[in-house]
Each structure stands twice: as C-alpha cells, then as structure tokens.
Amino acid sequence: MTLHVAAGTPWWLFAAADLILFLHIAGGSIAILAGAVALLSPKGGRVHRITGRVFGVAMLVMAGIGTATSPFLPVPSMTNLTAGIMTCYLVATGWASITRGSGRIGGLEKCGLGVALGIAGAGMTFIVMAMNSPTGTVGDAPPQSFYVFAVVGAIAATGDVKLILRGGLSGPARIARHLWRLSAALTIASGSFFLGQQRIMPAPIQGSPWLFVPVIAPLLLMVFSLIRIRFRRWFHTAKHSRSDTATARHSFQERAS
C-alpha cells in the first residue's frame, strides 16, 4: 500500500499519511511475528494467550487501515479492500469463539454471517466482472485473485449458519473454529507481505519460491492442529464409550450374581 499526498498540501497531511502507512506496516509485522509465536507455543498457555491478544489487535489495526484506505489509492485495489474486510471478519469471529465461552453466541456472530455472505458474493461478482472486462482485471487484479474470497467466504458462512442453529459451540468444535479463522487471517497477512511486497525483499530472493514457505506454513500448522484436535476427540469418545461399556457389564454381572 502506497499513500500519495499531492504537493502543496499542509504538512500535517503528509505527517498523517506517514503515520497511517507506519501503523499499517507495523501492525502487519507485529501480527506475523505474534501469530507465529502463538501457533508454535503450547495452546492455552500464558505465552499463547499473550501473543494471541497481540496478534488480534495488530491484525485489526493492519487490516482496518488497509480496508479504509484501499478505495482511495491512486489505483483503487478491490483485492486489498475485500482482503481487509475478510481479515477483520476472521479475526473478530475467531477471537470471539474462544473468549465468549462455550455454548454462547451474540450479535457479532449473527452480523458476521452477513459479512461472510457479502465476502463470498463480492468474490463471485469480481470474478465475473474481471472475466468480462476488456483488460481481464478489476482494478489491478485478475479474476483468480478473487477465488479465495468466494471460497473462504462460503466456508465461513456455512460455519456461521451451523453456529447460529446450534446456539453456540463447545469443546473441540469451538477450538477448531478459533484455530482455522485466525490461521487463515495469518496466512492472508503473510501472503500480503512476503508475496505482495517483494520489491522490499533482498534482490536475491525476489521471485523465489522460498517466499511461499512463510505463507503456507500457517496453513500446514493449522491442518496438523485440526487433525490432532479431531484425533483427541475421537480418542476421548472411544475411551468414554469403553468405560461406559465396562461399567454396564460390571453392573450386569453384579445383578446376575
């Protein structure tokens, strides 16, 4: 993101533009570092909780600024606008899923469903617009740039509908919702920095496939964690089932004797 201020404008506008750009970059940088530590630290521990809070605040600062300024750039970026809205939505709903408590929902989740549907609809609309455009783009983005919004928006909306119908989540399902939403937000931030800002990278690694590693890493950690959560849920269910069966068999034997 580059903010341009016309020559001859008051000095404080230049200062404001520099401050906004600094907060955007600093928020994204802090979010990536804090998110990486939160993903790698023991879940539920003190380090995880502290870095998770830092990650959430930094992400909202970064994405909020990107969302507010994208339409007013010299070349308006619909990709950044949609990505900013989606990132704020993922962070807010993912954060709420773990802080609100088990089996509870509120207005945020209900409003979030509308946002998710809007993101999916915007993604589909931009895809059609880009395909029918003489330049094959919307602003500076090809139709492929909007596939992720249509897919992630649809998945998130489906999850919101299930959450609302159930009246809340608890246990592993609640943790999984928290995990995948914040991991997806971290992936967006990492992609925006490592892939979208390659001009500030050292010349030897510009265009290098190694830049995809920090972008894909959160997704791989997310998949691993979700599988582990699922396995633990299966293990505990099977353990309780065996325990209940053994208790019932013991009671039957006592009655028979």
Q: Is residue 245 part of a domain?
A: no
Cβ contact 54:36 at 8 Å:
no
pTM as predicted: 0.82
Q: Is residue 5 part of a domain?
A: no
Q: Phi and psi (nearest 5°) for 156?
A: -65, -40
pLDDT confidence bin for 20, thresholds 50/70/90 = confident
Q: Is residue 52 part of a domain?
A: yes
Q: Is residue 39 part of a domain?
A: yes
pLDDT confidence bin for 17, thresholds 50/70/90 = confident
Q: How far apart are CA 219 and CA 4, in angstroms?
A: 34
| pLDDT of 71 | 77
User: Domain of 220?
Assistant: 11-230
| pLDDT of 4 | 60
pLDDT in tens, 208-240: 888 889 889 988 988 888 888 777 666 555 455
Q: Is residue 3 part of a domain?
A: no
Of the two residues 202 and 182, the one the predictor is more confident about is: 182
pLDDT at 252 over 50: no
pLDDT confidence bin for 206, thresholds 50/70/90 = confident
- Measured over the CA atoms of residue 125, residue 28, residue 47 and residue 92, the dihedral's sign is negative
Q: Is residue 235 part of a domain?
A: no
Q: How far apart are CA 31 and CA 38, in angstroms?
A: 10
Domains held by the chain: number: 1
Q: Is residue 169 part of a domain?
A: yes
Q: Is residue 236 part of a domain?
A: no
pLDDT in tens, 107-166: 898 999 999 999 999 999 989 988 888 888 877 678 888 899 999 999 999 999 999 999
